[in-house]
Amino acid sequence: MKAITVILLAILGFNSLVHGNKGKRDVTSHSLKYEMDHGALNSCKLPSIKVRTFCNYMNASVPSYIVDTASKQMSYIVDYMNTQTSKYTSACVTAARDIVCKGLLPQCSSDFRILSFLSTSKSCQSINSCPTGLFTAIGRTSAALCSLSGKQYSLTTCVNPAITNINSVHCHALPNITVPSWIVPVLKAQGNAINAQRLAYSLVGVEQSCTSQWTNFLCRSLVSCNHDQNRIISFGWSKEECTSSLKCLPAILKTSTEDQFDCNIFPSKSDSAGLSSHFSLIAATWLLAVWISE
């Protein structure tokens, strides 16, 4: 755990150092393969009872896309935070839980038209006097989550992302797509996540070829609106690519990554249909985006 924490500290602490680094280019193209349909643009549903219990029995729905794609990661966070409560004051634990739940699980309005990140202003003020270890160990920064406090987005609108590239050093230009309005902050932060991940991997000696595979993962993981602007689709990687990328990680990273990823949920290269109800790899992008403060 200490070694993993060091890695996460590197991700969080050195992000500003590598932002905009113009070193050797390892550019990944946007190959829009493995398209997955995630349902209606404004589809919402309740998280699991495990997550709702952790989040003080929340009874509001969240985007179905988030529930379906991030369920394993949320379960990992809940389990970890529940095992750490004895190490922190009750006030700090309460504030941390409030920030995590409201920052990672924005709520749908009753008419399924507005998505809201509920206010965490009080918790964000009090968390400043708490040790940073709890957030660091789960790979989040309270600042990144708190920056979402009180923000609202349309659940029924697809927009131009207004950026041409998520990372000009490592990724090709974005294809001509529109995205759900609430995905825009994710895309804008995705480039920072790529830089931070590459730095962290270099610090623990991950082979360049393996790092490139994971860079490819973040560059290709895109959420989009469909042609009719009424459904959410995503583009990710195959089960075979996922398996290969996990195998190349050193043990220090492999175990913790496998705790949050199941390669069997991704479509196989042999799936000729091209569409799948499997969860999307972009789930990790959604979580990575709020790990890194802009």
How would you write 129-174 as a 3-class SS string? HCCCHHHHHCCCCHHHHHCCCCCEEECCCEECCCCCCCCCCCECCC
CA distances from residue 141 to 128, 247, 266, 272 in whole angstroms, order as listed: 11, 28, 28, 40
Beta strands in the chain (DSSP E): 35-40, 44-45, 62-63, 107-108, 114-116, 152-154, 158-159, 179-180, 222-225, 231-235
Q: For residue 219, give the nearest of 22, 12, 29 by alpha carbon.
A: 29
**For residue 31, is pLDDT > 80?**
no
Check residue 271 and give its pLDDT. Answer: 63
Predicted confidence (pLDDT) per residue in 97-113, tens digit:
999 999 989 999 999 99
Contact 82, 93 (CB under 8 A): no
pTM here is 0.75
Contact 119, 149 (CB under 8 A): yes
Q: Cα–Cα distance between 207 and 74 in angstroms, integer?
A: 29
Task: For the chain, give the number of residues.
Answer: 294
Check residue 269 and give its pLDDT. Answer: 78
Look at 38 and 284; give whichever has higher pLDDT. Answer: 38
Contact 31, 24 (CB under 8 A): no
Provide φ and ψ at 36, rounded to 5°: -130, 135
Predicted confidence (pLDDT) per residue in 135-189, tens digit:
766 666 788 889 889 999 999 999 998 888 888 899 988 888 899 999 888 787 7
